[in-house]
């Protein structure tokens, strides 16, 4: 059983919006740090947003004001709402869970060990 399953990726034009989902049921991610990362071809994987057990979030500067990470009330599905998309936002998007919880700053700096398979986002002009 795959612990994390992303969905919602696709192709969108510049300025468009997408909502990514990450099903985390059966893992108990509600008590741990969770995050979204992305990786563009030829680039390193970069952290986009983190969310802790108390729903406190932190964001990379390059997505602040455009992306929002959230979770459903059952705390089994993570979301990444993306708006005002740019070509630089193109890449494979991954959700991840750390084997610990903590304050928002902790979740931003912690190592993430559990990963989904990714969902592709392509932004074209």
- CA nearest 96: which of 53, 41, 38, 9? 38
pLDDT for res 74: 83
Give the contacts of 9 (CB within 8 A, at least 6 positions apart).
18, 20, 93, 119, 120, 121
pLDDT for res 44: 96
Cα 22 → chain centroid? 8
What is the C-alpha to C-alpha distance for residues 107 and 58, in angstroms, rounded to an integer? 9
Q: Please, how many CA atoms are within 13 Å of residue 16, restricted to the half-sphere of its CB?
A: 17
Q: Does residue 123 register a pLDDT over 90?
A: yes
pLDDT per position as a tens digit, 36-59: 999 998 999 999 999 999 999 999
pLDDT for res 28: 60
Mean pLDDT across the chain, nearest whole number?
Answer: 93
> What does the pLDDT average to over 101-124?
95
Q: Does residue 2 register a pLDDT over 60?
A: no
From the CA atom positions of the chain, what is the Rg in Å? 13
pLDDT per position as a tens digit, 70-92: 998 888 899 999 999 999 999 99
Could you tell me whether strands 119-124 and 10-13 are parallel, antiparallel, or unpaired per DSSP bridges? parallel
């Amino acid at each position: 059983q795959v612990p994390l399953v992303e969905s919602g990726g696709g192709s969108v034009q510049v300025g468009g919006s997408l909502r990514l989902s990450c099903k985390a049921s059966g893992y108990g991610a509600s008590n741990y740090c969770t995050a979204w990362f992305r990786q563009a071809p030829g680039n390193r994987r970069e952290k986009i947003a983190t969310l802790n057990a108390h729903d406190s979030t932190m964001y990379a500067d390059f997505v602040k004001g455009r992306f929002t990470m959230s979770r459903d009330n059952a705390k089994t599905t993570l979301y990444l709402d993306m708006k005002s998309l740019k070509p630089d936002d193109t890449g494979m998007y991954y959700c991840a869970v750390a084997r610990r919880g903590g304050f928002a700053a902790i979740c931003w700096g912690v190592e993430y060990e559990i990963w989904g398979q990714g969902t592709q986002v392509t932004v074209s002009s």
